[in-house]
């Protein structure tokens, strides 16, 4: 798996799912910022080997908004191409943190 270009899905106990990836800052920095800004606890992290959205330095987006963001990216990618699986500890330490 190419970890540097992975797309991350964070899920909180209340069911909120947000998408993160490396753009102008690492996904970890952006997830940390999101948690501070919205007073969120540490989420469960899942990873997809599909690269993050590559336009405009997108920091994060809600799972529900993800298809629209892919359409704006205009590379013909679809949500069903993003297969997520739980990230293990080694990956979390290697994913551009």
Distance CA 43, CA 29 (A): 14
Give phi and psi for 81, each to the nearest 5.
-80, -15
Residue 4 has pLDDT above 70, yes or no: no
* Mean pLDDT, residues 2-13 taken together: 82
Tens of pLDDT, residues 40-95: 998 999 999 899 998 878 999 999 999 999 999 999 999 999 999 998 877 776 66
Whole-prediction pTM: 0.88
Higher pLDDT among residues 96 and 78, named by residue: 78
Q: How many CA atoms lie within 13 A of 50 on its CB side?
A: 20
**Whole-angstrom Cα Rg for the chain:** 12
* Displacement of CA 50 from its chain's centroid (Å): 10
Distance CA 97, CA 62 (A): 21
Q: Which helix (H) or strand (E) holds 27?
A: helix 27-37
Residue 97 has pLDDT above 60, yes or no: no
The model's confidence at residue 1, banded by pLDDT at 50, 70 and 90, is: very low
């Amino acid at each position: 798996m190419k970890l540097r270009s992975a797309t991350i899905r964070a899920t909180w106990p209340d069911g909120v799912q947000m998408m993160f990836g490396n753009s102008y800052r690492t996904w970890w920095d952006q997830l940390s910022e999101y948690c501070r800004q919205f007073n969120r606890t540490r989420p469960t992290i899942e990873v997809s080997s599909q690269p993050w959205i590559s336009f405009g330095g997108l920091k994060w987006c809600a799972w529900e908004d993800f298809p629209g963001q892919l359409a704006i990216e205009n590379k013909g990618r679809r949500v069903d191409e993003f297969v997520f699986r739980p990230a293990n500890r080694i990956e979390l330490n290697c994913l551009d943190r």
